[in-house]
Structure 1
Amino acid sequence: MLSIIVCSIRENFFLQVSQSLQQTIGDYTYEIIKINNLVEKLSLTEAYNKGIKKSKFPILVFVHEDVLFHTHNWGKILLSYFENDPKLGLVGVAGSKIKTRFPSAWWENQTEHLSLNIFQKFSNGETKFESFGFKNGPTSEVVIIDGVFMAMRKDKRIFFNEALKGFHNYDQSISFDFKRYGYKIITTCEIDIEHFSTGSIDDSWVKSSLKFHQLYNKYLPLSIGQEITKEDRAYSCLKFIGNCKRTGHKKLAFRYWLKYLVLKPFSKKNYAFLKYFLNWD
């Protein structure tokens, strides 16, 4: 039995995902809880917590409204994961096996640490199917999942962290909270969904990421049975510097470049960074 929670701002998308759910979930009891955010204007953490409080069933599914499901009877697949592993807390279709101390996104790690299974539609109309990170089977253990699709075991101790405002990092924070309580997190390649938008990194994302790392820094770094190397740290640091540059956070970019300089003092990228910062407006 599933409680499916959707934070909606576009009625046509909500109707589309509702129909897709009905056609693909299988012969299971479920409810769809709509949080009408055109009216309520909540942060995503607040909206999802409202959905949790309204829910009747022990497994919760949080899904973006701009998706379609392509796997039939996916409800059975999903419930089997939770039934077979009492320590399983979260299931997603995309995630990472590591998280460094740098305020980068979950996907801003080297490819060997990522696990992803999704049909992604881009603004130019192209749809690309990406599936990797499942060489040992149909599921992969991770430390963070992406918010496009998150299935959660209901636990009265765990809610979304409302200190995170807006619409970013709710997925990272709920992942860390499940890890904090000793739960396992997995991604699966057995549930295919199509996503009609791509995430964007803007000024609000950078600020939210800094807030997330302030709140959860004591749990970092985090990984699944593997060492986070200097190369891993440098990679995510470099990604965050790029995000800062693109969103106009030049002082923040400089601060993290100094950290990158310690990690990779002989990198050729440092010369380009030096020229960039010397042209400070």
Structure 2
Amino acid sequence: MISIIIASTKNILLKNISKNIEDTIGVDFEIISFDNARGERGLCELYNKGSRMAKYDILCFMHEDISIKTYNWGSIVCKSFKQNEKLGLIGIAGSIYKAIAPSGWHSNSENTERTNIIQTFKFSDKTEMHHTRNPLNEKYTRVACIDGVWFSTLKKVVTENPFDEQNFKGFHAYDIDFSLQVGQHYDINVRYDILLQHFSEGNFDKSWMLEVMKLHSKWNKYLPIQTMNFDKRTRIQIEKRTFKDFIDKSLANKIPAIKVVQLLWNKDGIRRFDFKLFLKLNRYLVGKTLRL
């Protein structure tokens, strides 16, 4: 009933997640895996190929460095799509607000996050944590975008909205881009009744920054997207915090300031959203650049 698509970099991780899926999914399934140890093919290319190969109507894409803790999670996924014909995408981490400011799925704001995941840290000495944000105690929440660690969709949805392998040839931003495509036509939900453990956190390096910049050049005129009403003051606060964080990360990763300026001055971006904020962010960028 579910075709599971995985881009694998290590045989041991693929073996472990395959056994984990077999033990927990609770419905008929197939695993379509691609050996991508050398990283020669991007996730968009592999996910499109896997979608075409899939024999089932429901598709599940996941990283291999996870362990799913919920038993019979396959039934939860199948029932979700059966009960809501408008549903196009399910994740376990996402955001109810996707900022204009360049960012990952979370828009750098805890108030907008909706998650249920056990996070283990590979790139820092942080303590493992059960990261859950569900302030309204819902079974699921409609969101603007999801994280790519684990997500499920329908084969027809991918056929209508294929992963953008022309623009995104690596391993970043594919999840947000796919969310924004699907969200134009379908609902996107984060569910809290499926729990998994992720054994590494995101690494916000230069390649991630460049892909996020590319993503926002593509989608700026459609942003921000929100599934819960925020007043203008709150949205300005989110955008200000998010763009400042982006500026800091960009300069730390030695991305030329001119590239940040090009995004900042985009007529479909922050300048269109709030001109006073646009001026403040320009001053912040100049100040940070002069101090380097």
TM-score greater than 0.5 by the shorter chain: yes
User: How far apart in 2 are the matches of 1:146 and 1:247?
Assistant: 23
SS at match of 2:37: helix
User: How far apart in 1 are the matches of 2:29 and 2:52?
Assistant: 16
The structure-2 alpha-carbon separation of the partners of 1:111 and 1:40, relative to structure 1 and needing over 3 Å to count, comes to closer
SS at match of 2:183: helix
1:277 match? 289
Q: 2:223 aligns with which of 201, 220, 237?
A: 220
Q: 1:246 aligns with which of 236, 252, 259?
A: 252
User: How far apart in 1 are the matches of 2:121 and 2:214?
Assistant: 29
1:137-177 CA-partner distances (Å, limit 9, x unpaired): 11111010000001012222121011212110000011011
The structure-2 alpha-carbon separation of the partners of 1:84 and 1:132, relative to structure 1 and needing over 3 Å to count, comes to same
Q: Give the residue type in structure 1 aligned to 2:6.
A: V
Hey, which bits of structure 1, 4+ residues long, moved more than 4 A? 256-261, 264-267
* Number of aligned residues: 276
Q: Give the residue type in structure 2 aligned to 1:188.
A: R
User: How far apart in 2 are the matches of 1:2 and 1:257?
Assistant: 42
Q: C-alpha root-mean-square deviation of aligned residues, in Å?
A: 2.4
Preserved contact between residue 173 and residue 211 of structure 2 (Cα < 8 Å)? yes
Unaligned 5+ segments in structure 1 are none
Preserved contact between residue 95 and residue 114 of structure 2 (Cα < 8 Å)? yes
Q: Give the residue type in structure 1 aligned to 2:169.
A: K
2:76 match? 77
2:182 matches 1:168:
no
Question: Structure 2 length normalisation: TM-score?
Answer: 0.87
2:210 match? 207
1:62 match? 61
Preserved contact between residue 97 and residue 107 of structure 2 (Cα < 8 Å)? no
1:192-233 CA-partner distances (Å, limit 9, x unpaired): 100011111111111111111122223222111424621121
Q: Give the residue type in structure 1 aligned to 2:100.
A: R
The structure-2 alpha-carbon separation of the partners of 1:34 and 1:110, relative to structure 1 and needing over 3 Å to count, comes to same
1:108 match? 107
Q: Alpha-carbon deviation of 1:257?
A: 7.8
SS at match of 1:57: coil
Preserved contact between residue 264 and residue 278 of structure 2 (Cα < 8 Å)? no
SS at match of 2:6: strand
Unaligned 5+ segments in structure 2 are none
SS at match of 2:239: helix
Question: Structure 1 length normalisation: TM-score?
Answer: 0.90
User: How far apart in 2 are the matches of 1:109 and 1:223?
Assistant: 14
2:40 match? 41
2:209 matches 1:195:
no
The structure-2 alpha-carbon separation of the partners of 1:47 and 1:53, relative to structure 1 and needing over 3 Å to count, comes to same
User: How far apart in 2 are the matches of 1:274 and 1:265?
Assistant: 11
Q: Alpha-carbon deviation of 1:254?
A: 6.3
